[in-house]
Amino acid sequence: MRRVFTSIGLASVLFVSVHAVSIAADDGASNEVVYKSPGESYKEDGKYFLKESDNPIYNKNDKDEWDWLTFNGNRRYHAECHVCHGPLGLGSSFAPALATSLKTLSYEKFRDVVVNGRSVKQPDGSVNSMPSFGNNKNVMCFLDDFYLYLKARADGVLGPIPHRVMKKEAKSKDIREEEAECFGDS
Ligand code: HEC
């Protein structure tokens, strides 16, 4: 599934940026969140990647627009993961707070758990089960989107805002095509 980067040389390189932004929380209160990209990144086909690892990373541009994948991850989290992991990645009584997990969980481990699922037996004999989403295209076609939304939440750069009020970059032609291909529409 991992993409091969053949045109890294052509990718535009972006530099670490820090700027303060004001975002409205769900309850209408204003939270001051400092946005800091976690390393040098480059943009390719409407997506952002860390130079160091070529792993995807979230981005917010000078117009305060989030990258499409992070926006989409926010939108889709609520359809696919919210029921167990709670609103905004904050956790529930039976599934962990992903906005905390992703402070330490690697990109590879995240993908592994979501694709393959995981069951862990508890001391009282009950089993905690994360289902495998390997056959669910509504999750598999957007794995990086989920990761980026939760990573931005975990890094404290994206506040508890509904996707509807997130300013975002346009969906690129490449993202559109990859999505159609993943769903087998092309
Ligand atoms: C049916 C309930 C359920 C749904 C739906 C669900 N999960 Fe989970 N998930 C769990 C449970 C329970 C665990 C804890 C498993 C364990 O104890 O190892 C878990 C664990 C995880 C972990 C590992 C967290 C850690 O701290 O190691 C990740 C990552 C994860 N889920 C991502 C997702 C994503 C992304 C979605 C939506 C696409 C999702 N889950 C949907 C129940 C669910």
Please tell me the distance from the alpha carbon of residue 26 to that of residue 161, in angstroms, as a whole number.
6
Å from CA of 85 to ligand 1 middle: 7
The C-alpha torsion from 109 through 114 and 117 to 121, rounded to 10°, is 60
**Which of 70, 85, 109, when mutated, tests ligand 1's pocket best, judged by the most ligand atoms within 8 Å of its CB?**
85
CA of 177 to the centre of ligand 1 (A): 28
Parse the chain into domains and list their residue ranges: 8-182
Q: Which residues line ligand 1 (CB under 6 A)?
A: 80-81, 83-85, 94-96, 98, 101, 105, 110, 113-114, 118, 120, 128-131, 133, 139, 146
- Enter the tokens of residue 140: 């598999």
For the chain, percent of residues with pLDDT exceeding 90: 72
Per the model's pLDDT, the better-predicted residue between 126 and 30 turns out to be 126
What is the C-alpha end-to-end distance of the chain, expressed in Å? Answer: 17
For residue 179, pLDDT beyond 90:
yes
Contacts 24+ apart (CB under 8 A), 127-131: 128/94, 128/95, 130/95
Distance of alpha carbon 85 from alpha carbon 48, whole angstroms: 26
Rounded Cα–Cα distance for residues 170 and 65 (Å): 9
Mean pLDDT of the chain: 84
| pTM for the predicted model, two decimal places | 0.84
Nearest CA to ligand 1 atom 43: 130
The pLDDT assigned to 27 comes to 36
Burial of 81 (0-12, 13-18, 19+ CB in 10 A): buried
Say if residue 23's pLDDT is above 90. Answer: no
Among protein residues, the one whose CA lies closest to atom 24 of ligand 1: 101
Distance of alpha carbon 142 from alpha carbon 84, whole angstroms: 18
